[in-house]
Chain A
Amino acid sequence: MTLSLTYHLQVINLLAALLLLISFAMLSQRRIVGLITLFAWQGAALSASTAIVAWSTGQHHLYYSAALTLVLKVIAMPWFFYRLVKKLDVDRDVEPMINIPTTMLIGIVLVIFAFNLAMPISQMSGTVMRSTLGIAMATVLLAFLMMITRSKAIPQVIGFLAMENGLFFAATSATYGMPLVVEMGVALDVLVGVFVLGIFFFQIRETFDSLDLKHMEKLKEK
C-alpha cells in the first residue's frame, strides 16, 4: 500500500492522475474554447507537479521550468489561442472523425498499453516519482489520438501541445527533467511553432475558406 509514501509524493500522484483526467476531458470536448481552457488547466497541473518535485528533491532548475510552463502554457498560449479563435470566428461544435464514445474506448486501450509499457521501464528508473511514468506515456498517446481524430487545425495544434506536456512530464518523472538549456530551447521552439502555426491558420482559411484540413488533400498532384 501507499502508506509509506510521503505527502508531497501523494500530491504529485494526484496531480498526475489529474493530468490524465484532463487528457480524457480534452478527448471528449467538442468546443474549441473548452479545449483551450482544458489545455490551460493541464499546463497548470504540470507546472504545480514540477514545482512540487523541485521542492521535494531540491533540484533547483526545476523551479525555472515550472515557472516557464506557467507563463507559456497557462497564460501566454491559451490567451493567444482565445484571441485567434475570436479573430477566426471558429468556435462551433466540431464533429470528430470517429465519434466520441469510440474515441474514449480507444483511449482506454491506449492507457492500458501505456501502463504496461511503462512498468518495466519505471522499475529501472531511480526517481521518487517513477510510477507516474505510465501516466506521462498515456498522456502522450492520448494527445496523439486527439491529433488523429480531429480534422480542424486548432484542435490538432492543441493536441500537439498536449503531447509536449506529456513528454515534459515523462522527462520530469523519469530523470528529474532535462538540462535547463534543453528545456529553454524546447519552450522557445514550441512558442515560435505556435506563432508560425497561428499565421498558417489565416493562410489556410484564406485559401480554403475553412480550417478543415481535409481540404488540403486537394493539393495532391494527380
Chain B
Amino acid sequence: MTTGILLQIAQTLAAILLAPLLMGWVNQCRAWLQGRSAPPISQPYRTLRKLFQKDAVIAHNASPLFRFAPYMVFACMALAAGIVPTIANDLPFSPAADAIALVGVFALARVFLALAAMDIGTSFGSLGARREMLVAFLAEPALLMVFFTASLISQSTELPVIVQTLAHKEFVIYPSMAFAAVAFWMISVAENARIPVDNPTTHLELTMIHEAMILEYSARHLALIEWAVALKLFTYSALGIALFLPWGIAPQGDLSALPLAVLVLLLKMLLGGTVLSFMEAISAKVRLFRAPEFLGTAFLLGVLGMLIHFLLEV
C-alpha cells in the first residue's frame, strides 16, 4: 500500500514535470517537418518560467471566477494525470475515479475555462467558449464509446484493470480495439486543439477555438493554463498508450519492472509526439462546420467498435 501511494505520487509528479517536455518535442518535430528552424525542446519550460515571473493584468470587470479558473483547470488535469496508469499499474487513486469519471474531470476543466472566457464579456471569449462547447459535446460521447469498448473487453471501467487485461494476460487481437484506436486518435486531436480541428499556433479570429478563450489571461494564470494544456496532451497520450499499446507498463507489485517501464514510456511518448506532428504536417485545418462531421465519424467508429466486439469477441 505504501509503495502504491509512493508510486502514485511519483507518477503524478512525473506527469506534471514531463508534460511541457512532450509539448516541446511536438513543437520541435513540427518545426522540422515544416522546414523551419526548431525551438529548443526546453522552450515550454522557459515560457512557463517567464510567465510566472510577470505581473498579472486582469480586466476591471473580471469576477473571482476568472482568477479561480486557471487553478481549477490545472488541478483537474493533474487529477486526470494521476488516474491514468503510465509507468505502474498499482494506483491507489484509481478506484476513486474510473474511465467515465475521467471524462467528467475533463468536462469540469472545460466548463470552468468556458465560463471564465465568457466572464470578461469580450466577443472573442464567448466566441471561443461556444466553439469549444460545440467540439466538446460531440467529442465526449465518442470518448465514452471508446471507453465502453475497452470496458466490455475487460469487464471493468477501471483503467488499471483494463491495462491488466490487455497487457498482462494472454495476447489476443481485438478487432474492436482497432476501431476504438482510430476513434480515439480523432477525439484526442479535437480535444487537444490540434490540426485539423483547431490550430494551436493561430490567433486568427475566423479559426481559433482554444486560443480565443484564453486571450484575456496573462502571467501566472496564463502559465497555469498553458501547463494544463501540456498536461492534457500528456494525459491523452498516456491514455492512448494505456488502452492501445499497454505493453511495458509495470504490473501490480512488480517493482523490478519499473526502470524498463519508464524507458518504454519515454520511447512511446517520443514516438507518439512524432506521429502527431507528422499528421499535423500532412493535413490541413478543416472548416469549423466540418468539425461535427469529423467528430461524428469518431463517434461512429466508437459505436462500430462496440458492435464488432459483440459480433466477433463474445
Binding site for B on A (CB under 8 A): 1-3, 5, 7, 10-11, 13-14, 16-18, 20-21, 24, 28, 100-101, 104-105, 107-108, 111-112, 115, 131-132, 134-135
Contact = CB atoms under 8 A, between A and B. Distances in A.
A161 B292 CA distance: 30
Contacts of B296: 101, 104
Interface residues of B, number: 24
A11 B292 CA distance: 33
Given A10-B172, A115-B311, A131-B311, A104 B300 contact: yes
Chain A residues touching B, majority SS: helix
A93 to B, nearest CB: 12
Interface in B22-45: none
- Give 10 closest A-B pairs by Cβ, nearest first: A17-B175, A10-B173, A14-B175, A101-B296, A13-B312, A13-B175, A134-B311, A2-B313, A104-B300, A115-B311
B303 A100 contact: no
A76 to B, nearest CB: 28
> Interface centre among A17, A20, A101, by most B CB within 10 Å?
A17
B311 A135 contact: yes
Given A17-B308, A104-B300, 8 more contacts: A2-B174, A11-B173, A13-B175, A17-B312, A21-B179, A24-B300, A104-B296, A104-B297
Contact of A115 (B174, B179, B310): B310
Contacts of B172: 1-3, 5, 10
A2 B152 CA distance: 13
B191 to A, nearest CB: 20
Interface in B147-195: 170, 172-176, 178-179, 182
A119 B270 CA distance: 43
Nearest to B171: A7
A107 B173 CA distance: 25
B201 to A, nearest CB: 27
Contact of A111 (B292, B297, B307, B314): B307
B178 A111 contact: no
Interface in B268-314: 292-293, 296-297, 300-301, 303-304, 307-308, 310-314
Contacts of A18: 175, 178
Nearest to A107: B300
B297 A28 contact: yes
Nearest to A1: B313
Contact of B304 (A3, A11, A28, A108): A108
B312 A132 contact: yes
20 contacts: A3-B172, A7-B173, A11-B173, A13-B173, A13-B312, A14-B178, A16-B175, A17-B179, A20-B304, A21-B179, A21-B182, A21-B304, A104-B296, A104-B300, A105-B300, A111-B304, A112-B307, A131-B311, A132-B312, A135-B312
B21 to A, nearest CB: 34
Nearest to A105: B300
A140 to B, nearest CB: 15
Contact of B308 (A7, A20, A28, A107): A20
Contacts of B313: 1-2, 13
Contacts of B312: 2, 13, 16-17, 131-132, 135
Nearest to B295: A101
Contacts of B304: 20-21, 24, 108, 111
Contacts of B175: 13-14, 16-18
B229 to A, nearest CB: 29
A87 B182 CA distance: 35
Contacts of A7: 173
Contacts of B311: 115, 131, 134-135
A101 B173 contact: no
A212 B297 CA distance: 27
A194 B163 CA distance: 48
